[in-house]
Amino acid sequence: MNPIDVIKKAQVNKTVIPAFNIPYLAMVKPVIEAICDEECAAMVQVARLEWKKFESKSLEAVAEEYFKYYDPEHTMLHLDHVPAVDEDLQKVDVLPIIERALRAGYQSVMVDGSRLPLKDNISITRAVSDLAHSAGVAVEAELGAVAGHEKDGIGMSYEELFRTRKGFTKPEEAKTFAEQSGCDWLSVAAGSIHGSIAEGIREKKKPEARLDIEHIAKLRNATNNMPLVLHGGTGISQSYILDAMKNGIAKINIGTDIRQPYEAAMKEYGDTELAREQVYLKTRWVIRDFLKISENKKLVD
């Protein structure tokens, strides 16, 4: 499958492509099995922080595991967050990581310049787009601040974050970004938050998040219908997710929802196969019951 075509079809059909994060290598197999058994199109993805702060080892290790089990009619391999400035506020040399992903067989990549000024975010995204597109690989970028990965989580109550619209993507900036960055789809901030990765609070339930659907629609219009991406998909009420799909969101990242069952099973039983079973069941639930996309077979035909 070509990710650019699949994401665009999802947007047109007002459905969504789920992208499942892999913080532990053992999760790759059950995630792929669940996707295939639900007969839908979905992504398997890994972010830099997941090989730095969890146990996915490297982007190459995830790719190697992925290609053992993948189904080209249903699955795609995506490189999630490669930040220009990471969650510890350290600068990251982005392009060498993207080059590694291209060699490893990733079909799409994400550069995250959201902690940079707009001009610099556009510049690094343009550089990644030029590099990836020369290899026929799609590019995702981020504009606005989806909080949660920082050491102190979101740094305020969720209600305060939503009330102040702190970090929300600005439509006028989104228009400029879409015109100049060269990316294929755009991760936006409109109320969602990432699951915490900080030690000691990883197991906590995420705050129940909301989405500003009107704001998402404004971003879709500002970007001339560029497919939009929702990060931090776990913990948002289903009604908001379904409405977001009708208003431009074409890809949604799922991490905490499948990570925590794996970690809980490993902590209690120390049994990898049992933990894998929990991931498999939760992934199927997300696709079938929460996102209601098990019948998007037309996207993979």
Q: Between helices 118-134 and 171-180, what is the axis angle to 10°?
A: 30
Side-chain-facing half-sphere of 53: CA atoms under 13 Å: 16
d(C-alpha 258, C-alpha 235), whole Å = 12
Task: Tell me the two tokens of residue 225.
Answer: 């219908």
d(C-alpha 215, C-alpha 21), whole Å = 26
Among 71, 80, 120, 257, the active-site one is 80
Task: Quote the DSSP letter at residue 149.
Answer: S
d(C-alpha 74, C-alpha 41), whole Å = 5
In order of 8, 149, 190, 233, 264, the CA distances from 236 in angstroms are 23, 17, 12, 6, 21
**Quick check: is 80 catalytic?**
yes
Q: For 239-245, which contacts have Cβ atoms below 8 Å and span 24 or more sequence positions?
A: 240/191, 240/209, 240/210, 240/211, 240/213, 241/16, 241/211, 241/290, 241/291, 242/292, 243/211, 243/213, 244/190, 244/211, 244/213, 244/216, 245/14, 245/15, 245/16
* Identity of residue 214: E
Which parts of 59-148 are beta strand (E)?
A: 75-83, 108-112, 138-143
- The catalytic residues are 80
